[in-house]
Structure 1
Amino acid sequence: MSDIEHLIEKALRPLGATPPPPSRDLFARVLNSVADDRVRRRRTRRVLALWVAAVAAVTLLVTTLTPQSNGELLMPWWILELGTNLVLVGIALWLGPFIKRFGRAYAADVFHDNPLTGKSYIVLTDIVYYLIFTAYICFTVNFAPTSDWQNVGTGLVTPQQLQWEVVRIGGILLIIGVLHGLNIVLMPVLGRLFSLNRRVDRT
């Protein structure tokens, strides 16, 4: 500690009080902080690599556009479908860790009586999150043009298909938002129930 820190500690310490002993788990907490920082940096590099891959994929898709004689651009329907699926996967891989990062403190506050239950709850919600994303992509993916897109004969992107793909992205964001809001509301109730059950078991 520096001289200024010693002076501040001396000024704030009550008269005649001895300095508090050092924390026993200080070294372990420092190691955990270093490990969390490494995990965060590794996750950041992964997200950056995914974004670079997404940009490269979009660039590749754009370069596959073939100009028409009147100067318009044509795109096969499967390119937009593949791009939308890549966007959905990218949102899943980015949004899941983002929610988990800011949800740990909330779960720790809710399950403060039984932190192990809180950690298990976070893991289970992660599994549910990725299952919902996977099921949504499987339910909405198309392997051939549909009649609603009005491009069965041409096989090119139409405004109807573009609207459908935008609805797919908005739909998963709405579903995750609603479920996440319900989770925020229900988590304190579950934490209270677990705390009551634990107190009953102790008695």
Structure 2
Amino acid sequence: MSDLEQRLAGALRLSVEDLDESSDLFARVELSIDDDRRVRHQHRALIGVATCIIGAIVSVTIAVTDVHEGELLMDWWILELITTAVLVGVAFWLGPLIKRFGRSYAADVFRANPRTGKSFIMLTDVAYYLIFFSYILFTVTFAPRDGWQDAVNAAQLQHETGRVAGILLIIGVLHSANLLALPVMGRLLTLNRRLDDASPVQDRD
């Protein structure tokens, strides 16, 4: 064995001797496996739900679409109802989905004030849903717009596509703002709590 190999072997032996055995290593490995299994189950459930929703939309579209002289015809109000249902589904499905993956982030931000963090998240959820449904009500159409026809045409398709894109943009902007605001809120609450804890000590002095 060369001198270099002996030095490497000695260094590895010392590093092994310095390691402390972890009594909860097996439990942590089990928790990691359970978390991985739960994440895979959630992904499969999300894929299943998305597949069912897409299948339902396609089935309804096929059922209410007529074929006339080789062209697909659909009444304008049917597409309006389908788009509104899609918007409501996105609001109810995508919001909780983002919240589920952001719980650990919010818990880390509000670790010093867990009750305040829960209240803040609940209030923001209420605000989000109010914004979502306000957007849906503002954009719903009860009579054909200018350029529309009794059957669906390109102008209406462009309008409905813009509605879906709009709610996705609103969700993205709101959650991006929330990601930026949460650390600031958590920091301010932590500082206020430290000041409140320090005030009685200063008063005694």
TM-score by length of 1: 0.72
Query: Displacement, 1:146?
Result: 2.7
Query: Displacement, 1:53?
Result: 4.5
Maintained 8 Å contact 1:104/1:122: no
Q: Which has the larger radius of gyration?
A: 2
In the other structure, the counterpart of 1:109 is 108
* Pairing 1:64–2:64 present: yes
Q: How does 1:38-187 map to 2 (within 5 A)?
A: 45=45, 48-49=48-49, 51-69=51-69, 71-142=70-141, 144-151=142-149, 155-187=150-182
Maintained 8 Å contact 1:136/1:172: yes
Separation in structure 2 between the aligned mates of residue 82 and residue 196 of structure 1, nearest angstrom: 49
Alpha carbon RMSD of aligned pairs, Å? Answer: 3.4
Alpha-carbon distance change, 13 to 113 in structure 1, aligned in 2, over 3 angstroms: farther
Alpha-carbon distance change, 124 to 162 in structure 1, aligned in 2, over 3 angstroms: same
Query: Displacement, 1:104?
Result: 1.3
The alignment partner of 1:149 has SS state of: coil
Query: Displacement, 1:165?
Result: 0.3
Alpha-carbon distance change, 86 to 55 in structure 1, aligned in 2, over 3 angstroms: farther
Structure with greater helix share of residues: 2
Separation in structure 2 between the aligned mates of residue 185 and residue 53 of structure 1, nearest angstrom: 32
In the other structure, the counterpart of 2:188 is 193
Maintained 8 Å contact 2:110/2:117: yes
Q: Is there any run of 5+ residues in structure 2 with no aligned partner, and where?
A: 1-14, 199-205
Maintained 8 Å contact 1:50/1:90: no
Separation in structure 1 between the aligned mates of residue 138 and residue 43 of structure 2, nearest angstrom: 29
Maintained 8 Å contact 2:132/2:167: yes
Separation in structure 1 between the aligned mates of residue 16 and residue 128 of structure 2, nearest angstrom: 48
Maintained 8 Å contact 1:77/1:156: yes
Maintained 8 Å contact 1:110/1:187: yes
Maintained 8 Å contact 1:58/1:83: no
Maintained 8 Å contact 2:76/2:144: no
Q: Is there any run of 5+ residues in structure 1 with no aligned partner, and where?
A: 1-10
Maintained 8 Å contact 1:74/1:156: yes
Separation in structure 1 between the aligned mates of residue 107 and residue 196 of structure 2, nearest angstrom: 21
Separation in structure 1 between the aligned mates of residue 120 and residue 16 of structure 2, nearest angstrom: 40
Q: Which has the higher contact order (CA 8 A, sep 6+)?
A: 2
